[in-house]
């Protein structure tokens, strides 16, 4: 059952979330409506497709996605900043002090930073994931307030807190719906090997994955865990102390 809410902006979302919702919405869509007791960002075709935009941790969506995918098709949209500008404001939260381009470059593989939280759901036929590469701003302002547990406000960012995240534009979108879509994220040279042949040359560890894709070892470990849960790769013995996988 779908019920519209009175206020589209009632969730108090950051600008990035609101802008992506406007970017995704099509004529006839219902925004911030309730389905099965859950608030949904976009309801399309009278509930035939539910679209959720998540800019934070996927663990917050686990129960929601588990319930909704039982009877509905759900598209989970996750923005990754391929380019990001850091904007610092004065304490009035209006006056711009500085602006710099972050050296970090996001990519589609960054989806695996959050995917372990819902890894067992990813292969569900009612769930698809769309990674949206964006240009975005992260707006910071001075952090004020009382200390908690011996930490000063904004201690992680040296006295600054995130005021907002803003969308500049969308660079590209990548839909991951089937195990084959996720398999395609593995190194291309590995995928070109003859299918069905298992040899030492075809076995790989998470260290191999990290080196070949030029990603961190923790991210490669998360990627391997998710692909294993989907049945894309299979553990097949060990190489030294590391678990070895086969496609």
Residue 111 has pLDDT above 60, yes or no: yes
Kindly give the interhelix angle for 206-213 and 217-230, rounded to the nearest 10 degrees: 110
Residues 221 and 124 placed together within one structural domain of the fold: no
Q: Is 66 exposed, middle or buried (0-12, 13-18, 19+ CB in 10 A)?
A: middle
Q: What is the CATH number of the domain that holds 217?
A: 1.10.10.10
Ranking 26-35, 49-58, 153-162, 192-201 by mean pLDDT, the lowest is 192-201
Residues 65 and 185 placed together within one structural domain of the fold: no
Please count the structural domains in the chain. Answer: 2
Residue 158 has pLDDT above 90, yes or no: no
Which range of residues forms the domain containing residue 63?
Answer: 2-177
Whole-prediction pTM: 0.84
Average pLDDT over all residues of the chain: 87
Model confidence pLDDT, tens digit, residues 206-220 = 999 999 999 999 999
- Neighbouring CB atoms inside 10 A of 126's CB total 16
Domain boundary among the residues 177, 203, 228 is at 177
Backbone angles phi, psi at 173, to 5 degrees: -135, 145
Residues 212 and 162 placed together within one structural domain of the fold: no
Residues 172 and 206 placed together within one structural domain of the fold: no
Task: With cut-offs at 50, 70 and 90, classify the pLDDT of residue 18.
Answer: very high
Residues 117 and 207 placed together within one structural domain of the fold: no
Residue 231 has pLDDT above 70, yes or no: yes
């Amino acid at each position: 059952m779908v019920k519209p809410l009175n206020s589209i902006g009632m969730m108090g979302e950051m600008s990035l979330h609101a802008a992506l919702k406007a970017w995704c919405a099509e004529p006839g869509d219902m925004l911030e409506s309730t389905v099965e007791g859950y608030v949904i960002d976009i309801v399309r075709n009278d509930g035939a497709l539910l679209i959720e935009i998540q800019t934070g941790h996927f663990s917050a969506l686990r129960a929601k996605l588990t319930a909704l995918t039982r009877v509905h098709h759900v598209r989970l949209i996750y923005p990754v900043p391929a380019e990001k500008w850091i904007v610092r404001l004065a304490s009035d939260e209006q006056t711009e002090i500085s602006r710099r381009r972050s050296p970090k470059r996001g990519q589609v593989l960054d989806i695996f930073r959050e995917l372990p939280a819902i890894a067992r759901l990813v292969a569900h036929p009612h769930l698809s994931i769309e990674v949206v590469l964006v240009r975005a701003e992260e707006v910071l302002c001075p952090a004020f307030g009382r200390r908690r547990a011996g930490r000063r406000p904004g201690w992680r960012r040296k006295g600054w807190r995130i005021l907002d995240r803003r969308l500049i534009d969308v660079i590209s979108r990548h839909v991951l719906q089937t195990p084959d879509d996720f398999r395609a994220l593995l190194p291309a040279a590995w995928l070109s090997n003859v299918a069905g042949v298992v040899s030492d040359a075809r076995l790989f560890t998470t260290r191999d994955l990290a080196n070949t894709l030029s990603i961190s070892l923790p991210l490669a470990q998360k990627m391997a865990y998710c692909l294993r849960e989907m049945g894309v790769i299979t553990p097949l013995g060990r190489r030294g102390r590391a678990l070895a996988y086969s496609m």
